[in-house]
Amino acid sequence: MRQDIQEVLFTEAELNERINELGEQITADYEGKSLIVVGILKGSNIFTSDLVRKINLPLKMDFMAVSSYGNATESTGVVKILKDLDRGIEGEHVLIVEDIVDSGLTLKYLKDILLTRNPASIKVCTLLDKPARRKEDIKPDYLGYEVPDEFIVGYGIDYAEHYRNLPYVGILKREVYEK
Ligand code: IMP
Ligand code: MG
């Protein structure tokens, strides 16, 4: 798989370090509260699993699955809920965990839906942000790293369902998806 990667952006050790910092920041910000961490499947699965173990607070985990891309590399703007939360979130502090924010369409849509369910608060933590391609005016409350306008894979993030198991985050070679 390494031969399909143009450049490694963040190594396993760097990710570990940054996620530790995010966990500490979240722990401090929500002191005295409990929260529901909502991982967005499938991309944020690995990030969510690592992040919650760095958050020292009472918390529950839940997941949503949405489809936005299919096998293409550009957002269609169509977001469909494939799996909703198992439980209600009324009066709860919700932290949405995303893998990467690109156009922002997915996140805007999700946040709006969850807001209608009257949580006490909603914040967003994303591992990666590609601000160059933003279409919706939405900013993550917690961010791992900004990334360039390239196609990113690894650490849960896929191209056509592959590369999720890379332990690092990297740029996928164009020749892989421009075939
Ligand atoms: P958005 O709706 O355009 O912000 O796209 C958000 C979703 O598209 C993310 O949660 C990812 O699943 C996917 N996505 C965006 N950029 C990339 C990328 O560079 N590589 C892989 N998936 C991406
Ligand atoms: Mg995603």
Look up the pTM and report it. 0.94
Q: Check the CA dihedral 21-133-39-43 and report its sign.
A: negative
In tens, the pLDDT along 78-129 reads 688 999 999 999 999 999 999 999 999 889 989 999 999 999 999 999 999 9
Task: Using the predicted structure, report yes or no on whether residue 70 has a pLDDT greater than 80.
Answer: no
Cα 8 to middle of ligand 2, angstroms:
20
Cα 102 to middle of ligand 1, angstroms:
5
How much is the pLDDT for 74? 63
Structure tokens belonging to residue 116: 């209608």
* Confidence tier at 71 by pLDDT (50, 70, 90): low
Side-chain-side CA neighbours of residue 131 (13 Å) = 7
Q: Whose CA is nearest to atom 10 of ligand 1?
A: 100
Ligand 1 pocket: which of 46, 125, 149, 157 to mutate (most atoms within 8 A of CB): 157
In tens, the pLDDT along 152-169 reads 999 999 999 999 999 999
What DSSP line would sit under 27-47, residue for residue? HHHTTT--EEEEEEETTTHHH
Atom of ligand 1 nearest to the CA of 79: 2
Structure tokens belonging to residue 53: 């173990």
Q: For residue 163, give the nearest of 18, 42, 27, 32 by alpha carbon.
A: 42
Beta bridge partners of 65: 41, 83
In tens, the pLDDT along 123-142 reads 999 999 999 989 888 999 99
C-alpha distances out from residue 132 to 19, 72, 135, Å: 23, 19, 9
Structure tokens belonging to residue 143: 């961010």
102 counts as catalytic: yes
Q: For residue 84, give the nearest of 116, 57, 55 by alpha carbon.
A: 116
**Catalytic hit among 99, 102, 129, 158:** 102
Residues with CB under 6 A from ligand 1: 43, 68-69, 75, 98-107, 151-153, 157
How much is the pLDDT for 75? 64
Q: For residue 11, give the nearest of 152, 178, 170 by alpha carbon.
A: 170
